[in-house]
A = this chain, B = another copy of it.
Amino acid sequence: MTQERVKSKELAELGEFGLIRRITAAATIKNESTVLGVGDDCAVLSFPGKRVVVTTDLLTEGVHFNLVYVPLKHLGYKAVAVNISDICAMNAIPRQITVSLAISAKFTLEAIDDLYAGIHLACNRYGVDLVGGDTTSSLTGLTISITAIGEAEAGELVYRNGAKPTDLLCVTGDLGGAYLGLQLLERENELFRQNPTVQPQLSGYDYILGRQLKPEARIDMREIFSALKVHPTAMIDISDGLSSEILHLCEESGVGCRLYEERLSFDPQVQKMAEEIHINPLVAALNGGEDYELLFTISLMDHEKVRNHPDITVLGHMTAKEEGCMLVTAGGIQEIPLTAQGWNPLKSA
């Protein structure tokens, strides 16, 4: 019996309720809207006079993450962050999460502690309360299902369907990093697999690795919008790639758009890694996904308010629906229809 099996036995002996107690000991309640957290049949919440927003995501081992190169603490953090990102995309304030886990026999109690260390870190970073969940076993692999709940005044919410022709198309931060960080991790993992004496070459790539392994939800943008006195007309978070998200906004809003290639600038590490694997960084931005930046539209009249903000880039503008959704190449030479080549989570199904 290996040490790992002994630890798994500890997990079985601790049992579901013991594990819940262990996990929730570190969960502090930070929000007034949390009336009761873990410990009853349901969590009890209260949002007087507010809209309540709810989102959920499910991550499975081997499809969404590879535990060979993703540390469990990072995985826990990221699993929370991607849900918080959806709350931010509504211009709401995240308040609570529930976390459900299915774990296989290979996971030790220490591994579960690492995963929850990341989850608790994210809860503290984003000011959310862990109020419930379910912990059970799986025959193979790890599955994480998180539901996030937030609140906002009805008039504060931003939907996907409010963009008008002439509205400006804007994005926060920079794109392509998460995808190229993944390519780097997969390349080094493959080299290691072929020759286990090879050390992974990751130095000089901390930015794109961080974008892949520890993405941050743009919880700051709600206050930035408020300070700039800008209310986006439509918004979505970038989980599947810029192309796919732009097409969602256009479809839901019944408009077209022009995206200007020359408006996109890239981090030097994004450019370097893209060169190394012989792709255009534009492709990483358009189709890579997992950047968890916010894509939004604002009225043309708000242009001055955002043009010098370091976190916001104007990428183009919306048009009438009939004009289509087009990428305008550098120098305005060509118009290429945008297509959704983002990740299809059912491709392997």
A-side interface residues toward B, CB under 8 Å?
A: 8, 11-12, 14-16, 19, 35-36, 39-49, 51-64, 86-87, 89-90, 92, 96, 98, 100-105, 107, 131-141, 143, 145, 147, 149-150, 154, 157, 159-161, 235-237, 252, 344-349
Q: Knowing A40-B90, A349-B107 touch, does A16 contact B134 (C-beta < 8 A)?
A: no
- Which of B43, B159, B160 has a CB less than 8 Å from the CB of A53? B43
The reply to whether A138 and B60 contact each other, CB–CB distance below 8 Å, is yes
Q: How many copies does the complex hold?
A: 2
- A159–B35 alpha-carbon span in the complex (Å): 12
A49 — which chain B residues lie within 8 A by C-beta?
A: 48
Q: Assess the A139–B60 pair: CB atoms within 8 A.
A: yes
Shortest Cβ distance from A148 into B: residue: B42
A-B contact pairs, 29 of them (CB 8 A): A11-B346, A12-B344, A12-B346, A15-B344, A16-B344, A35-B51, A41-B86, A41-B89, A41-B236, A41-B237, A42-B87, A43-B55, A44-B157, A46-B52, A54-B132, A54-B149, A55-B98, A57-B100, A57-B134, A58-B100, A58-B134, A60-B137, A60-B138, A60-B139, A61-B139, A63-B136, A63-B137, A137-B348, A147-B147
| A47 touching B44, Cβ below 8 Å | no
Residues of chain B contacted by A96 (CB below 8 angstroms)? 54
Minimum-distance CB pairs A-B, first 8: A145-B145, A42-B53, A137-B349, A58-B100, A41-B89, A136-B345, A62-B139, A45-B52
When the two chains form their complex, are residues B42 and A55 in contact, meaning their CB atoms are under 8 A apart? yes
In the complex, chain B residues whose CB is within 8 Å of the CB of A100: 56-58, 145
Q: If the complex has contacts A43-B54, A136-B64, are A349 and B103 also in contact, measured as CB distance less than 8 A?
A: yes
Partner of A147, one of B41, B56, B90, B161: B56
- Report if A134-B19 is in contact (Cβ < 8 Å); known contacts: A42-B87, A157-B44, A237-B41: no
Taking A62-B139, A63-B136 as known contacts, 18 extra A-B pairs with beta carbons closer than 8 A to each other, sorted by chain A number, are A14-B346, A41-B87, A41-B89, A42-B53, A42-B54, A43-B53, A44-B51, A44-B52, A44-B53, A44-B157, A45-B54, A46-B52, A54-B96, A56-B98, A58-B101, A137-B347, A140-B140, A145-B145
- Of B63, B87, B159, B237, the residue contacting A139 (CB under 8 A) is B63
Report B-chain residues with C-beta under 8 Å of the C-beta of A62. 138-139
B346 close to A136 (CB less than 8 A) = yes
A143 touches B137 (CB 8 A): no
Chain B positions within 8 Å of A145 at CB level: 56, 58, 100, 134, 143, 145
Nearest CB of B to A85, in Å: 8
Q: Taking CB as reference atom, which chain B residue is nearest A86?
A: B41
Give Cα A336–Cα B255 distance, bound, in whole angstroms. 71
Q: Decide if A132 touches B56 in the complex (CB within 8 Å).
A: yes
